Amino acid sequence: MLKPTVGPIVGHTTFQHARLFLRGAPVTNAWVFAGLRYRRTGDPNWSKGFFAELTTDRDMSAVIALHDLASDTEYEYQAGWFNTGNTRPALETLDPLKLQWPRETYRFRTASSKACTPRSYIVGSCRYLRMTLGLPSAPAKGDRIFAAIKRLADTSSSAISALVMTGDQVYVDDMNVVAPDRDYPDILAKYRAAFSQPHIRALMASLPTYMILDDHEIEDNWPANAGGNDNSLYRNAMAAYEIYQASHGPAGEQPDDQPPHYWYQFAQGDIEWFVMDTRTRRNLSADDRRIIDADQEQAVLKWLIHSPARVKMLVTGVMLFPDSKGNDSDTWKAFPEQRLRILESIRLHKIRNVLIISGDVHGSLTSRLRHTADPDFEVQTIVSSPFCNSAWLPFAKSSSFILDQPLAKTAAGDYYLEWTSEVISQDNFAHLTVHTEHIRVEYRDPDGDLLYSVNLPLHPPPQTLPLVV
């Protein structure tokens, strides 16, 4: 059995369930399979083997789902791929073959169901890995920060529960002027290069990883910049996205006979995440402008209003607030009616502890949204970007954003903004630790050194009044 060519990637992981992605390679005139086995760390015996056939329509990759795991438990596993020549055996006949498993062993931990316990997350976006003639240029630069994240994950006093990547994990359009990637094989090659660099590979093999796309998975400022010949680009880019990013996440659990959507939810104890797709379901018509489609908006509002979670993390690839000073038609600034509907729902339903998580702007910051007539209203944002910038792209600065005028005005009052951090204008990632009374946000550089930290307050849940009979 051979080592995976991409992966393994630990994806969506719950208290009893985990999804693991890996890729092999095509072999001429042969049937190819992926295999995985696991055990609790310290146990002497491995599980039976779990297998999946690898085919070219999934770029020789598969996701193997493990079930009936124990909560808050560390597991170790081995994974690889092999071929059976011109014979296509049934999957159930592969385990008795006594395969020679790869020597490398990986580890992951299932989630804990405990409430009000500290949980940590890594958040980031925008990982530029320039490709020239099909090869990454200076790949160590784009991979360096993931070595620091792996060291932090291995040594943090509060176990890190997940890596949340909020967009631009690949730049399909990184050489858009010189040699744009539009063909399916070229886009697949970009994903293979991006996810097989040594440090990100080691990190994703052990830490549950959640992803959502932004524009550069397709084309800069998609779909506003889409041209008449871009339909094939979109199909190719989304087919690759489904294989390498959506498949191992909650979106990959959708039935095959239903049209896919890329937004999803996941929960860990009393912390819940709603990861929006703010890129592929936009409506740019003047009479009904939407950055997310109607079904997704209703799902977001239902989750915000009815979820009992103590802390709600709402992920958006582009920033909900603050707005940039430029003529920006690509963010929520250009969809003010839909943004206001979400904010008004949070305010009128008195929903507490909503955190907006985003990236995109090549700068990191935290800020707080308040309301002039409603002192109890507060929504905070945590922005983390970029993992690795391009020398061609600027970093955001505090002067890039509008904070001296209301974000929105209503008959009931104005929504206004306050800084709660500096703006970090360099490559970085965010380490979030959710405590009972606050969320600690630490921005760290590509070596893992602390750049800036802030504690964002959390509010206790409203007290339930005793029933008077």
> Of the candidates 109, 128, 150, which is a domain's last residue?
109
- Composition of the chain by helix, strand, coil, percent to 5: 20, 30, 50
One domain, residues 104 and 137: no
pLDDT of residue 461: 67
Tell me how far apart the alpha carbons of residues 321 and 302 are, in angstroms, rounded to a whole number.
Answer: 21
> Of the candidates 64, 81, 109, which is a domain's last residue?
109
Which residue stretches of the chain have pLDDT < 70?
A: 132-134, 175-181, 259, 461-469
CATH of the domain at 294: 3.60.21.70
pLDDT of residue 158: 84
pLDDT of residue 111: 94
pLDDT of residue 469: 34
| Measured torsion, CA atoms of residues 16, 22, 26, 30, in degrees rounded to the nearest 10 | -30
In a domain, 463, yes or no: no
How do residues 132-164 score in pLDDT, each as one tens digit?
A: 666 777 788 889 999 999 999 999 888 899 999
One domain, residues 167 and 280: yes
One domain, residues 90 and 194: no
Contact 388, 142 (CB under 8 A): yes
One domain, residues 54 and 199: no
pLDDT of residue 317: 97
Give the total number of structural domains in the chain.
Answer: 2
- The CA–CA distances, whole Å, from 139 to 135, 136, 414 equal 9, 5, 47
One domain, residues 441 and 342: yes
What range does the domain containing 80 cover? 6-109
In a domain, 61, yes or no: yes
**pTM given for the model:** 0.95
One domain, residues 289 and 433: yes
How do residues 355-380 score in pLDDT, each as one tens digit?
A: 999 999 999 999 999 999 999 999 99
Cis peptide before 96 (omega within 30 of 0): no
Residues pairing with 2 in the sheet = 81
Contact 114, 121 (CB under 8 A): no
CATH of the domain at 42: 2.60.40.380
One domain, residues 83 and 26: yes
Sheet of 450-457, strands arranged across: 209-211, 160-165, 119-124, 429-434, 438-444, 450-457
One DSSP character per residue, 401-437 reads: B--SS-SEEETTEEEEEEE-SPPB-SS-EEEEEE-SS
pLDDT of residue 110: 97
One domain, residues 103 and 137: no
> Of the candidates 86, 109, 132, which is a domain's last residue?
109
In a domain, 25, yes or no: yes
What are the φ and ψ backbone dihedral angles of 355, each rounded to 5 degrees?
-115, 130
What are the φ and ψ backbone dihedral angles of 124, each rounded to 5 degrees?
-170, 175
